[in-house]
Amino acid sequence: RRRGFNGTGYHYYIRKDGTTLITRPVERIGAHAKGFNAESIGICYEGGLDCRGRPADTRTPEQRAALRLLVHQLQERFPGCRVCGHRDLSPDRNGNGEIEPEEWIKACPCFEVKEESFQE
């Protein structure tokens, strides 16, 4: 709120125990991925930093299962949607057709979304 936000920018928040909270109705534009908010749904998970405060995949097994279920449900509701992370939306600054780590605006979600099994 100190930064001018009027609530959570993500639509869903997944706690370490796998509990999934609706933090913003999907009908309301998010505030989670600049330039993509109007046509996207934001999902955030508790954690994402190692003990030194650096980006890391800290998802629990419960979070992984909850994320798979949530994405599956959203894919049923929005067929043909693209599943990606913040870093996948970074610009391809060197123009080689691939978004590489040095081009990421954000490191999250700290795992390769395209390698996750969201097509079960």
Residue 1 has pLDDT above 70, yes or no: no
36 located within any domain: yes
60 located within any domain: yes
With cut-offs at 50, 70 and 90, classify the pLDDT of residue 117. low
Overall number of domains in the chain: 1
69 located within any domain: yes
> Residue 117's CB: how many other CB atoms inside 10 A?
9
**Residue 109, preceding bond cis, omega within 30 degrees?**
yes
User: What strands lie across the sheet with 20-22, from one edge to the other?
Assistant: 20-22, 12-14, 43-45
Taking residues 19-25, what's their average pLDDT? 96
53 located within any domain: yes
Q: What is the CATH number of the domain that holds 46?
A: 3.40.80.10
The confidence score (pLDDT) of residue 120 equals 45
Taking residues 97-116, what's their average pLDDT? 83
pLDDT, greater one: 119 or 98:
98
- Find the helix or strand (DSSP H, E) in which 68 lies: helix 61-77
pTM: 0.85
Taking residues 5-17, what's their average pLDDT? 90
70 located within any domain: yes
5 located within any domain: no
Identify any residues that bridge with 41 across adjacent strands, giving them in sequence order.
none
98 located within any domain: no
54 located within any domain: yes
Domain that holds residue 48: 12-81
